[in-house]
Amino acid sequence: MEKSGWSLGVKTVKTNNQWRELKSNYELPTRVLEEQFDYQSEEEQDWSSYFQYKGTWYCTDQFMRFGYPGTSAMDNWQGYSSDSAFSGVVVEFNDDNEVKLGTYFS
């Protein structure tokens, strides 16, 4: 079986290559936790990491890992979250509790 990458057909990733610090639940506005992450229990919120990208708050549990590393447009990216059938957000994590973000388009 050929390892041709992942099935979303990504052609372009746009990023500013800036690292952002991951946030704990106590660093988020209470309104954000109540409205956007109400599916998480208090215990889940205690161990989750969050970040804001383009005005939207995300939790790391919303991202899927890639099946095959080292695929052209996706080199160095570790996970994705789809916005639509053709676009979404990609993430790369480092050991300093930071995340680099990008937007993918197919």
The verdict on residue 42 lying in a domain is: yes
The verdict on residue 40 lying in a domain is: yes
Half-sphere CA count of 17, side-chain side, radius 13 A: 1
The per-residue pLDDT for 4 is: 35
Query: Is 0.85 surpassed by the pTM of this model?
Result: no
The verdict on residue 45 lying in a domain is: yes
The verdict on residue 3 lying in a domain is: no
The verdict on residue 26 lying in a domain is: yes
The verdict on residue 85 lying in a domain is: yes
- Which structural domain range is residue 64 located in? 12-105
The verdict on residue 4 lying in a domain is: no
pLDDT one-digit tens code per residue, 25-82: 999 999 999 999 999 999 999 999 999 999 999 999 999 887 665 555 566 788 899 9
Q: How many domains does the chain have?
A: 1
Structure tokens at 45: 């919120």
pLDDT one-digit tens code per residue, 3-26: 334 445 667 889 999 999 999 999
The verdict on residue 82 lying in a domain is: yes
